[in-house]
Structure 1
Amino acid sequence: MTESATTGFAVTGSALTGSAVTGPVTTGPTAGSPTAGPAGIPFDRITEVSPGRRAVAVRHVPHTLDVLDTHFPRFPVLPGVLILDALAHTAELALPADGARRWTPAEARRLRFRHYVTPGDRLELTVDIEEIDGDTARCRGTARVDGRTVTTVRELLLVRSGGTADGPEGAV
């Protein structure tokens, strides 16, 4: 398991087209985040929210996303960490709000990146809340493009941080 010093977000047992991939992961829920749209909202449309149970959202992958210039120049692909970040934001929609404290991703296990997500794709993000125990939530998420599963996360752990939505203070 590898943990990022920036956010404390850890990835364990991920796979890219069948190969094991493990590395540092950073996420950014701020307005400057590559997955954030206007006003810092990371989705183009929220299609379903069942508080404490499930959330579904849609995010279009624009051709103008800066990260696509270098990932990869001749074959632009949305980085898997940005898909994971979008799934974490989707989970936040279904989790209970608590004033200035917000849910932050802490760990992801049993990930699978099955297909590439490229510019112009419409990413449908679905997260089911498995368990909420105080300041910890365990979720399961899926990202699809045109009905085809591109990413699955079988264990996504989020913790409620003591910081505000503007900063990662208190992130675990």
Structure 2
Amino acid sequence: MSNEHVLDIRKIMEMLPHRYPFLLVDRVLEFESGVRLKAYKNVSMNENYFQGHFPGLPVMPGVLQLEALAQAGGIFVMNSVEESLGDKIFLFTGLNKVKFRRPVVPGDRLELNVFYERHKLNMWKMRGVAEVDGQVTAQGEFSATVANKGDM
């Protein structure tokens, strides 16, 4: 891995439109164009969803683990295409074979692994695996499209 593929939060914020409290990728560690991406999210007790999920037993919602994988997938696509995406946005279009394997709690470092499956035109298929300390927490296949912001 070379340092040119490591993306810090400033570079991630240049790519993704998400902001607090919905930006769920803290750093990209590894990237192989058209192959895979590895990133992470540091899970803190300060996350606003822990107030209600669940009081006295804080657990990161599984759908937010999937959203973190989707955001990592967006970064993967933006770095894999040759041309600039300009005024386009990456939109989640589907989920398949989703499994939740273990809870994610405050203090965990959620590793986000995205693997390329295929794409045609603006439609992308990827496989995502979220892990904490080498144990799978969530996994699934997801699809997404690159769309014009003005068409929304």
What's the TM-score once normalised by structure 2's chain length?
0.81
Structure 2 residue aligned with 1:142: 129
Q: How many residues align?
A: 132
Which whole-Å CA distance do the structure 2 matches of 1:69 and 1:109 have between them?
29
Displacement of 1:29 in angstroms is 5.3
Counterpart residue number, 1:151 = 138
- Paired AA for residue 26 in structure 2: D
Unpaired segments ≥5 residues, structure 1: 1-27, 37-41
Deviation at residue 32 of structure 1 after TM alignment: 3.1
* Matched residue SS, 1:92: helix
Q: 1:132 to 1:33 in 2, by over 3 A?
A: farther
- 1:31 matches 2:19: yes
Asked if 1:65 is matched to 2:47, the reply is: yes
Match of 1:93 in 2: 75
Backbone CA RMSD of aligned residues: 1.7
- Residue identity (%): 31
Q: Which structure has more helix as a fraction of its residues?
A: 2
Is 1:131 aligned to residue 118 of structure 2? yes
**1:163 maps onto 2:149 in alignment:** yes
Q: Give the residue type in structure 2 aligned to 1:73.
A: P
Aligned counterpart in structure 1 of residue 36 of structure 2, from 38, 46, 54: 54
